[in-house]
Amino acid sequence: MANSLSHNGALDISKIAGNGSDELKQLLGDIGEFFHTRRAAGMSTSGFGEAIQRRLRVTEISINKKAEEERKTEARVVMEIEVHEDMLNGGGNIHGGCSAFLVDVCSSITLIAMVKEIQGTLVASVSQSLNLVYHSPAQLGDTLRIVNTTLTVGARAHSVRTERCRSDLILTIPKAMSDSFSNDSGFDISKIAGNCSEETKQLLGNIRTFLRFGGKEGTTQFGDAIQSRLRVTEMTVNKKVEEENKLEAKVVMEIEVQEDMLNPGGNVHGGCSAFLVDVCSSISLYAMILSTQGTMYMTVTQTLDSVYHSPAQPGDTLRIVNITLTLGARSHSARTEIWNVTKHRLVASGTHVKMVPSPLHVEPKL
């Protein structure tokens, strides 16, 4: 990216606080434009999350000495964005995959700022891992402040931490979704292998329909077009090899990489991979819940850890293999591997921990 460095002279940087140079603020102040002008040749449509990316407002760019070690410096970049419908899941809260996307994009901008400050140039980097902890939901109309601070900038490895908070700091719990599910009786399950019941395959086989529980028709949720292209090829519940007294669910899906899944470099976006881990592992957990308990209830993400192994490009077919790990009274977990069937290599892997949300706390009247 070093040869692409240029100013956006039309950008008003007067509202960007911090001691970052005017050059740095001009370069990184318009995030959507920064990434758009560095897209790979031949990309004709919007990449993954581009509409959301363009709504990010940079409010601060600072380069300071570290409080813990004054010989080291750190970059701090703060951004804000209002939650729109294209950021939501079916429950009306911000999608876990969208949060992962925001962490990916915003932390990357912060690392770019730091590298530019200390090296005087732009250096392309790729994600190695992305680890998230989820604390509370955010809903339509909420304003998010995304605070990013670099940790290390080494010769090869760079790291940064990101915190996303709602400006009103009010915790809400999503409504139960037990009454929101119904079978898609017209869905063809004949191509879904595995020993799960026809009812489970009908309910979970059409992922987009299933995940739109409670959603209004005509609205667009985060990653809607992508999850609508996911094809479920297997749903199985078997005894665990390691412990025969325990069961595990295995759900396999496939999808072809298209431009709406890409980063500016022309490869699958790290945020998109995290989104796929979130969605697909959740389906395997729902399959396990339905098969073992005969009911359905809502769970929310607690942590999402992703490791990136190799890129995938347009036209590649991805096979996403999801296997449940635990199904406890409150905490559930699953692991996911995303394989590039076309290139015969592992693209990404992840572990997803979900939990049953606590009931909304009501203060006593007396």
Equal fold, 13-166 vs 198-355: yes
Residue 250 three-state SS: strand
- Candidate CATH numbers 3.30.465.10, 3.10.129.10, 3.40.50.300, 3.40.50.2300; the one for domain 13-166: 3.10.129.10
* CATH number for the domain whose boundaries are 198-355: 3.10.129.10
- Phi/psi at 306 (5° precision): -125, 140
Which of 103, 105, 166, 176 is CA-nearest to residue 137?
166
C-alpha distances in Å from residue 139, one per residue of 88, 99, 286, 302, 348: 8, 12, 23, 17, 29
The CA-to-CA distance between both ends of the chain, in Å, stands at: 62
Integer-rounded Cα Rg, in Å, for the chain is: 21
User: DSSP class of residue 312?
Assistant: -
Sorted by sequence, the CB contacts under 8 Å of residue 20 that are 6+ apart come out as: 61, 62, 63, 75, 113, 117
- Phi/psi at 174 (5° precision): -60, 150
Alpha helix segments (H runs only) across the chain:
22-28, 31-36, 50-55, 96-119, 198-205, 207-211, 224-229, 270-293
Angle at 335 between CA 281 and CA 148, to 5 degrees: 85
Spatial distance between the Cα atoms of 271 and 104, rounded to a whole number of angstroms:
6
pLDDT of residue 195: 96
Residue with tokens 């590039």: 340
* Residue 133: count of CB within 10 angstroms of its CB: 11
At 252-303, the pLDDT tens digits run 999 999 999 999 999 999 999 999 999 999 999 999 999 998 888 888 999 9
User: How is residue 215 written in tokens?
Assistant: 């959603």
User: Of the segments 153-157, 166-170, 319-323, which one has the largest average pLDDT value?
Assistant: 319-323
At 34-84, the pLDDT tens digits run 988 888 777 777 889 999 999 999 999 999 998 878 788 999 999 999 999
| Domain extents in the chain | 13-166, 198-355
What sign does the CA torsion over 304, 63, 110, 114 have? negative
| 11 pLDDT more than 90 | no
Lowest-confidence range among 54-68, 103-117, 351-365?
351-365
Give the pTM. Answer: 0.82
Residue environment code for 39-56, b if the CB has 16+ CB neighbours within 10 A, otherwise e: beeebeeebbbbebbebb
